[in-house]
Amino acid sequence: MTKKKFTIGVLIKQVPIPSQMRATKEGLMDRSVASMMNPYCKHALEAALQLKDTIGEDRVEIWVASMGPPNFEQSLREALSMGADHAVLLSDRKLAGSDTYATAKALSALLNTLGVDFDIIFAGLQTIDGDTAHVGPQVAERMELPHVSYVEGIEYKGDHLIVHRILEGGSITYKVPLPCLLTITNTANTPRGPRLKYAIQARKKEIKTYSVADIGLKDDEVGLIGSPTIVWRVKNVTHDRPPCQFMEGETVEEKVEHLLQAIASPQVEEEKTEV
């Protein structure tokens, strides 16, 4: 009997380009602006591609999956052009307004629907628009997979992995059984760009789209209605503190003198209130 291919899933979210990020008047993320693959997801995909390089191109299959509007196909095609083999998109108006609980429920249902026996699932550590870092661990819990977050290094050992998880001021090493889910930091690797060979194939590859009904969920399990979190208020953060000033001077005495002048000077106060 031939061994099945080593199969890796990568969760990919498309996010607004940071300079264009804005909320709608209802307080939701405006998805109509120009967007790109979430940077952390790129690192997750690179981790998968590096494993493919290690184990062997013909022995590994990479599936990329996303949940979002039809234009999320842009990031999935980019992933295919970097070397992923298959891409699927969960797209349905009923998903609009899903919080991380509903998002993880839908993504895990999507992965289960594919009928693929994943050895590893990679997710980004977090997104740059939602920023919660909830989705990866929640998908793992729903799929009953062991999981490690903040992963910076991965060593493939055949039937298990050695993974390095970053901590403040250090790291911790785990032996992780397969299958598992890992969330990847932006310090883990340097994502590669598209490769011509894959880019040509990517243009023609089918990206199968799934609806909520296709993944076996009811309408009230997703979207705003299936989300226990309620966004109460979205506030623009403004800088109302004065800027930090550095006191120049040749000697400590001179710097202290300048500091005393700065504290006493009403001109400095005026400068502060303008910022």
Ligand X SMILES: Cc1cc2nc3c(=O)[nH]c(=O)nc-3n(C[C@H](O)[C@H](O)[C@H](O)COP(=O)(O)OP(=O)(O)OC[C@H]3O[C@@H](n4cnc5c(N)ncnc54)[C@H](O)[C@@H]3O)c2cc1C
Strand duo 160-167 + 170-177: pairing: antiparallel
Closest CB to ligand X among 81 and 108?
Answer: 108
CA-based nearest residue to 125, from 188, 191, 185 = 185
Closest separation in Å from C-beta 109 to ligand X: 12
Closest CB to ligand X among 25 and 257?
Answer: 25
Closest CB to ligand X among 111 and 202?
Answer: 111
Residue 208, CB half-sphere, CA atoms under 13 Å: how many?
Answer: 12
Q: Report the largest interatomic distance among the alpha carbons of the chain, rounded to a whole angstrom.
A: 84
How far apart are the C-alpha atoms of 210 and 233, rounded to whole Å? 32
Helix (H, G, I), strand (E, B) or coil at 240: coil
Closest CB to ligand X among 27 and 249?
Answer: 27
Closest separation in Å from C-beta 154 to ligand X: 16
Q: Following DSSP, what letter does each residue of 158-223 receive, concatenated?
A: SSEEEEEEEETTEEEEEEEESSEEEEE-TTS-------HHHHHHHHH--EEEE-TTTTT--GGGST
Closest CB to ligand X among 134 and 247?
Answer: 134
Closest separation in Å from C-beta 232 to ligand X: 9
Q: Which helix (H) or strand (E) holds 135?
A: helix 135-142
Closest separation in Å from C-beta 155 to ligand X: 22
Angle at 147 between CA 144 and CA 150, to 5 degrees: 155
Dihedral of the alpha carbons of 111, 117, 120, 122, in degrees to the nearest 10: -20
The residues that touch ligand X, with contacts defined as CB under 6 A, are 11-13, 28-29, 31, 38, 40-41, 44, 66-68, 96-100, 103, 107, 123-124, 126-127, 129-136, 227, 229-231
Closest CB to ligand X among 95 and 161?
Answer: 95
Closest separation in Å from C-beta 160 to ligand X: 23
Closest separation in Å from C-beta 90 to ligand X: 8
How far apart are the C-alpha atoms of 148 and 207, rounded to whole Å? 29
Q: Which helix (H) or strand (E) holds 77?
A: helix 73-82
Closest separation in Å from C-beta 168 to ligand X: 19
Closest CB to ligand X among 44 and 188?
Answer: 44
Closest separation in Å from C-beta 134 to ligand X: 4
Closest CB to ligand X among 60 and 87?
Answer: 87
User: Residue with the closest Cβ to ligand X?
Assistant: 130
